[in-house]
A = this chain, B = another copy of it.
Amino acid sequence: MMKSIVSSKYLACLVGSIILNLLFIINIYVGGQWKLSWSSRAAIEAETVAAIYCSGHGRAYLDGLVVVGNKPVCDCNTCFTGPGCSKFIPHCTANADGGDPLFLEPFWMQHLASSALVVAGWHQMSYTYSGKSFFSEELAKVVRKVHASVRNAVTQNRFIIFGAGSTQVLSAAVFALSPENTSSPAKVVTSVPYYPVDKQQTQYFSSQKFKYEGDAYRWKNRSDCSITNMIEIVTSPNNPDGQLKKAIFHGPNVKTIYDHAYYWPHFTPIPAPSDEDVMVFTLSKLTGHAGTRLGWAVIKDETVFNRMMIHMQMNSMGVSKDAQLRAFKLLNVVLEEGTGIFDFAYQTLKSRWERLVQTVSLSNRFSLQENNPQYCTFYNKVRQLSPAYAWLKCEREEDKDCYAVLEAANIIGRQGNLFGVEDGYVRLSLVRTQDDFDILIERLHKLITEEDGDKTM
């Protein structure tokens, strides 16, 4: 009797144990992961590095700086330090200078599985895709889909070309729109306040083909405009002030390049799809991947397209296929997520702008750019700008050098004179990490309230 109880207990345990074994077998051989072979080493490597804890104020990269051993260290945000980025640096300088679009990093951290990319060692070794083009047809398809879903640009019956960021694409467009053989180079103009790189780049590459001729307004009422070649670069929404800009020049001898880097619901209402001759976009300000260096142009005219193709060949023999693959992956996630990335970006920048307005409104010492509401066809509502940059003006007579005023308050912006205006203006970047923005607001608040304190004395 006793024995039979014991043995039936054995039996129960045995059955349970066998079931457990079966569960393990199912888990291993039906659970998908059994498939992984050549990619698992790299996957474990990447996940191990990604798991390095940086206190939410930094991140460790696969190719990050290695100080000791072979494990990369945390790459900390401004004002944070220590092995785990946990140490805040008091009185550190607020960095509101560059347009590093790290405000989008949290979106990608929230979409880890869908945005991860696995590349085989033999992937796309050739210069071309299927011996044809330097540029991925599949990537161009995805780009068209994204524009169609946002309705910010007409891409049907248009040519698409890629480049190393909008920087290289803009340069390619200037070369392509310049006259082949002429005694007088094309005049390249931009209207103030303008994006400094357009000026610097055009001056750097200037030749018999084209020459930078400064502020477009200075040429507006010149009679010779009609007879000479003119190339106007229109940054819309504008960098620095976020305004939707239109071309100043029109006519048979005028070519226009629209830099639409910021023409996304993140930053601006979308009144209508843009349908210009040459429209330039960049992954940097859409997904936030500035380091990938992937920009594109949407082009109406085949001759211009072909000349830009020649430029890309002469300049760099096409564009990195790794950059094109990364963009392909990321833009597919953008499509999968519907309005996801746009909502995230808009909400983030909207709340940053509101916090900034609130802070600046505490005094009359500073003012911000106009922000008139406009109808947005993407959100089907009237909305304001949620600009990438604040175009801050120092209102006081004695604050002629606005950059110096902010610098004294431990804030680094970008001088107004770089944008072709006087130094009463400073550009403050609102697209950087949340840490950068929080510290900027803190420093600004301190500057403004202390200055209020002075007034009351």
| Contact assessment for B333 and A317 in the assembled complex, using a CB-CB cutoff below 8 Å | no
Copies in the complex: 2
Those 9 A-B pairs whose CB atoms lie nearest each other, nearest first: A115-B121, A38-B112, A164-B316, A46-B118, A291-B321, A10-B10, A7-B7, A24-B24, A108-B121
A406 interface contact, C-beta 8 A:
no
| Contact assessment for B315 and A293 in the assembled complex, using a CB-CB cutoff below 8 Å | no
| Contact assessment for B36 and A291 in the assembled complex, using a CB-CB cutoff below 8 Å | no
Residues of B with C-beta under 8 A to A318: 291, 293
Q: What is the CA–CA distance of A7 and B2 in the complex, to the nearest angstrom?
A: 12
Q: What is the CA–CA distance of A108 and B168 in the complex, to the nearest angstrom?
A: 31
A68 interface contact, C-beta 8 A:
no
Residues of B with C-beta under 8 A to A101: 125
Q: How far does the Cβ of A429 sit from chain B's closest Cβ, in whole Å?
A: 12
Of chain B, the residue at the smallest CB distance from A206 is B207
Residues of B with C-beta under 8 A to A118: 39, 42-43, 45-47, 62, 116-119
Q: How far does the Cβ of A196 sit from chain B's closest Cβ, in whole Å?
A: 11
Q: Which of A115-137 contact B (CB under 8 A)?
A: 115-131, 136-137
Contact with B along A72-111 (1 / 0, CB 8 A): 0001001000000000000000010010111011001101
Given B3, B18, B40, which contacts A36 in the complex, CB threshold below 8 Å?
B40
Given contacts A6-B7, A21-B20, A122-B105, contact A114 B41 (CB under 8 A): yes
Contact with B along A225-237 (1 / 0, CB 8 A): 0000000000000
A320 interface contact, C-beta 8 A:
yes
Given contacts A14-B17, A40-B32, contact A59 B122 (CB under 8 A): yes
| Contact assessment for B28 and A39 in the assembled complex, using a CB-CB cutoff below 8 Å | no
14 interchain pairs (CB within 8 A)?
A: A36-B40, A40-B113, A41-B116, A62-B119, A95-B131, A100-B125, A100-B126, A100-B128, A105-B125, A117-B119, A117-B121, A164-B316, A320-B322, A322-B323
Residues of B with C-beta under 8 A to A113: 37-42
A138 interface contact, C-beta 8 A:
yes
Contact with B along A365-407 (1 / 0, CB 8 A): 0000000000000000000000000000000000000000000
Assuming A125-B288, A127-B291, what are 15 further A-B pairs, CB within 8 angstroms? Answer: A17-B20, A21-B21, A33-B40, A35-B47, A39-B39, A39-B47, A41-B116, A42-B118, A47-B118, A61-B123, A75-B130, A95-B131, A164-B316, A164-B320, A167-B317
Residues of B with C-beta under 8 A to A137: 65
Which residue numbers of A lie inside 8 Å of B, CB to CB? 3-4, 6-7, 10-11, 13-14, 17-18, 20-21, 24-25, 27-28, 32-33, 35-48, 50, 59, 61-66, 75, 78, 95, 98, 100-102, 104-105, 108-109, 111-131, 136-139, 163-165, 167-168, 171, 197, 200-201, 204-208, 284, 288-294, 310-311, 314-326, 328-330, 333
Q: How far does the Cβ of A18 sit from chain B's closest Cβ, in whole Å?
A: 6
Residues of B with C-beta under 8 A to A206: 207
Given B13, B41, B102, B124, which contacts A63 in the complex, CB threshold below 8 Å?
B124
Residues of B with C-beta under 8 A to A6: 7
Residues of B with C-beta under 8 A to A200: 314
| Contact assessment for A36 and B43 in the assembled complex, using a CB-CB cutoff below 8 Å | yes
Q: What is the CA–CA distance of A290 and B124 in the complex, to the nearest angstrom?
A: 8
